[in-house]
Amino acid sequence: MCEKREAEGFLFGVAVGAIIGGVLGLLFAPDEGKKTRTRLKALYDDKKEAMGDLARDISEKVSEAREKAEPKLSEIKEKIEPILRKVEEVSEPVREQVEDYVSDLKDEISGEPSEKQDGDDEGERKQRFFKGIRSHN
């Protein structure tokens, strides 16, 4: 793996060096300045056009990928939404019980009286549900 990275780094350095060398060669060539500028402009125009083509190709590929993915994503979303609703329905009572338990626990720790009134079996039900949690007190 390390050798591969070194090779890639070396090749990248060679490519960058070749480009820089080419540009410097053009700038310091014995041609007159007008010819050199004309060649540099032509080189720039060619590269600019090539980069524009590459950008258009990438944009087209991204659009194609998006068009292919959207139906699948919609299908997945349609399948997942009912499951998420069911999970939310099932978890809501547990979430409420946990919130109540945490509130009672905070009250117990702070020394404030609990909200449980005489004849209210909600506190009893919570204690049964969380009996394993309270046993470490």
Would you state the structure tokens that stand for residue 80, as one six-digit string?
Answer: 């997942």
Amino acid at 117: Q
Q: Which domain holds residue 46?
A: 31-134
pTM to 2 decimal places: 0.35
d(CA 137, CA 125): 18
Q: CA triplet 57, 61, 62: central angle to 5 degrees?
A: 115
pLDDT higher than threshold 80 for residue 78: yes
Average pLDDT, the chain: 78
* DSSP assignment letter at 111: T
User: How many structural domains compose the chain?
Assistant: 2
State in Å, rounded, how far the first CA of the chain is from the last one: 55
User: Residues 16, 58: one domain?
Assistant: no
pLDDT digits (tens, 9 = 90+) for 79-96: 999 999 999 888 888 888
What's residue 12's pLDDT?
A: 78
Ranges 24-38, 58-72, 75-89: which has the least confidence: 24-38
User: Residues 23, 41: one domain?
Assistant: no
pLDDT higher than threshold 60 for residue 33: yes
**Mean per-residue pLDDT for 34-50?**
81
User: Residues 5, 44: one domain?
Assistant: no
Beta strands in the chain (DSSP E): none
User: Residues 104, 45: one domain?
Assistant: yes
